[in-house]
Amino acid sequence: MEYRNLNELKSFNELANSGKCQVKTLLTKERVAKCSIPAGGTLTYNYAAMPVSDEQVKLLQALSDEDELVAKYRAVLSGEMMNPGEKRLVLHQLTRGNCLGTAVSADGEDKGEFYASQLARIREFSEKVRSGEIKGSTGKPFDTVCQIGIGGSDLGPRALYLALAEYINNSPVKHLNAKFISNVDPDDAAAVIGTIDPETTLFVLVSKSGTTLETLTNQMLVTSSLKGVDPAKHLVAVTSKTSPLASSKDVLDAFFIDDYIGGRYSSTSAVGGVILSVALGYETFEELLAGAHEADMNALETDVTKNAALMDALIGMYLRNVYGYPSTAILPYSQALSRFPAHLQQLDMESNGKHVNRFGEPVDYVTGPVIFGEPGTNGQHSFYQLLHQGTDIVPLQFIGFKNSQAGKDIVIEGSTSQVKLNANLAAQIVAFALGKDDANPNKQFDGERPSSLIHADRLTPKALGALLSHFENKVMFQGFLWNLNSFDQEGVQLGKVLAKKVLKGCEGDEVLKAYADLLI
């Protein structure tokens, strides 16, 4: 298996010279039906409004084959060292099932068995909390769980919880409220603390090392405000086996993660598992894992027309490196996914926001795009003006569901709110693609704004798991295409180092001190 830069691949250069297609010319009702790919977990990915012809799909297939993209994914799954910067395995897919059926060993243990053992412990613990067998220090059952963590310890789990809260509210499953504290800004913690009852709140402290400054600062801020309770009976840790938290008397229990799962890929590990299982029930989390595993299996397909994540990755690379589009908008037409774009910002931009390849050599082509987004239809009344008529073309990724989670709706002027929502979604795809001619230049819409659509009947735990995995695998495949290491994040370290320097008095750095003096 060979790792080469994108512009060294013969098939990429053929693709780049293949000529650009017009969405207006390609888009027909037949194409909408033809360009659908099952993505696992009841999801379907549709690329009909993307500027790729049948001939270019063949070129994308040739590129996938030449760059051995699926073989590289299989190498990830088999436990090869795929994070060269930190010389680590990459095992987040293993937290939701073994795709290849072969054991993966590291640190003297079977990692599949290790992750399964943590799931079993999470199940037992969450069921005891939810049943009231495990209570707070004053004897009251827990009705709230609050996660303290930052980055991937917050963004993914928070997005998943919010995505399923209303689903659980409209099911027989018991729902414990979930809260999140992430920002070292004390106002973040204070705002959350002001809404909870310490006697009935369980805190989940997430820190792999057990030494993360922001997280431990928030822990101390929280525990210092817990009056009338024993903090040790209200706090569990998600950490590594070797961290100080693993055997601390200051926590009720500890659940383990390891160095082979990066924070932004950790939602299906104990990082997301503890809070989601306590708040929404272990069975809900189990369904989410099943959906993610289905999407992981789908990503093994070598035929790009049957592999949704791979096709999404290839088309995204094509728009970035041939068309030169610098950003991508994630537009979920589901209020439940309100924080999902924020999670994808970290997932994509922390993974593929790199300027050197996996060997540390500068690349001479653009890599990861800027990711942003908001739920529809709110975004239509915010930034869609630029998307429709601005000077930059922004590729769009729509997400939609035929039915709402709540099932509570009203008919106004012959249609329900959900039908109105999806009417807007369908209209936006066509408006962006085809535009509108008008003699008034101010009302002229050029169209040719490309988009894809990921859709399902309803946003269920299984669909959500598949959605999560789809984007994780898309980002992974794009990292392979750009010959990057998508699994480290050196870009977040420099600021941390300098922040510590400020806290030590700036150590003679005059420019740093000048800015610190403005703020401290």
**Active-site residue (options: 381, 408, 436, 443):** 381
**Active-site residue (options: 20, 443, 496, 500):** 496
Q: What is the mean pLDDT of residues 361-374?
A: 98
- In order, the DSSP letters of 170-212 are TSSS---EEEEE--SSHHHHHHHHTTS-GGGEEEEEE-SSS--
What Rg, from alpha-carbon coordinates, does the chain have?
24
Out of 400-409, 419-428, 435-444, least confident range: 400-409
Residue 166 known to be catalytic:
no
Distances (CA, A) of 123 to 162, 278, 285: 21, 9, 10
Predicted confidence band at 395 (pLDDT cuts at 50, 70, 90)? very high
Residue type, 428: Q
Query: 3-state DSSP call for residue 58?
Result: helix
323-337 as b/e: b if 16+ CB within 10 A:
eebeebbbbbbbbbb
Residue type, 207: S
* Closest by Cα among 30, 94, 99, 19 to 59: 19
Q: What is the mean pLDDT of residues 43-71?
A: 98
Predicted confidence band at 383 (pLDDT cuts at 50, 70, 90)? very high
Distances (CA, A) of 496 to 230, 262, 303, 499: 32, 17, 43, 5
Predicted confidence band at 145 (pLDDT cuts at 50, 70, 90)? very high
The first and second tokens of residue 68, run together, are 């051995």
pLDDT at 251: 93
- In order, the DSSP letters of 104-141 are -EETTEEHHHHHHHHHHHHHHHHHHHHHTSSB-TTSPB
333: left (phi over 0), alpha (psi -120 to 50) or beta: beta
Residue type, 439: A
Does pLDDT of 226 surpass 90? Answer: no
Beta bridge partners of 43: 40
Cβ neighbours of 514 (radius 10 Å): 10
Q: How far apart are CA 517 and CA 513, in angstroms?
A: 6
* The model's pTM: 0.96
pLDDT at 338: 97
Q: How far apart are CA 393 and CA 430, in angstroms?
A: 15
Does pLDDT of 329 surpass 80? Answer: yes
Give tens-digit pLDDT for 61-86.
999 999 999 999 999 999 999 999 99
pLDDT at 210: 79
Give tens-digit pLDDT for 21-39.
999 999 999 999 999 999 9
Give tens-digit pLDDT for 426-464.
999 999 999 999 999 999 999 999 999 999 999 999 999
* Closest by Cα among 414, 401, 341, 392 to 371: 341
**Active-site residue (options: 350, 374, 472, 474):** 350
Q: How far apart are CA 435 and CA 431, in angstroms?
A: 5
pLDDT at 222: 87
Residue type, 381: H
Mean of the per-residue pLDDT values of the chain: 96
Does pLDDT of 103 surpass 90? Answer: yes
C-beta of residue 266 within 8 angstroms of C-beta of residue 153: yes
Placement of tokens 């962006």 in the chain: 432
Q: Which residue stretches of 213-369 are H helix?
A: 213-224, 270-280, 282-298, 308-321, 340-352
Give tens-digit pLDDT for 235-276.
999 999 999 988 899 999 999 999 999 999 999 999 999 999
Distances (CA, A) of 363 to 317, 359, 488: 15, 10, 17
> Going edge to edge, which strands form the sheet with 327-332?
36-40, 43-46, 451-456, 396-401, 327-332, 370-372
Predicted confidence band at 407 (pLDDT cuts at 50, 70, 90)? confident
The first and second tokens of residue 265, run together, are 């890929």
Residue 408 known to be catalytic:
no
Residue 381 known to be catalytic:
yes
* Closest by Cα among 9, 19, 29, 17 to 52: 19
Name the helix (H) or strand (E) containing 75: helix 69-78
Q: How far apart are CA 342 and CA 7, in angstroms?
A: 31
Placement of tokens 């990830």 in the chain: 76
pLDDT at 320: 98
The first and second tokens of residue 418, run together, are 């959900």
C-beta of residue 23 within 8 angstroms of C-beta of residue 450: yes
Q: What is the dihedral of CA 362, 312, 166, 262, to 10 degrees?
A: -30
pLDDT at 9: 98
C-beta of residue 55 within 8 angstroms of C-beta of residue 21: no
68: left (phi over 0), alpha (psi -120 to 50) or beta: left
The first and second tokens of residue 354, run together, are 């790199």
Between vectors from CA 162 to CA 472 and to CA 454, what angle results, nearest 5°? 45
- In order, the DSSP letters of 443-456 are G-B-----EEEEEE
Percent of the chain clearing pLDDT 70 (strictly above): 100
Percent of the chain clearing pLDDT 90 (strictly above): 91
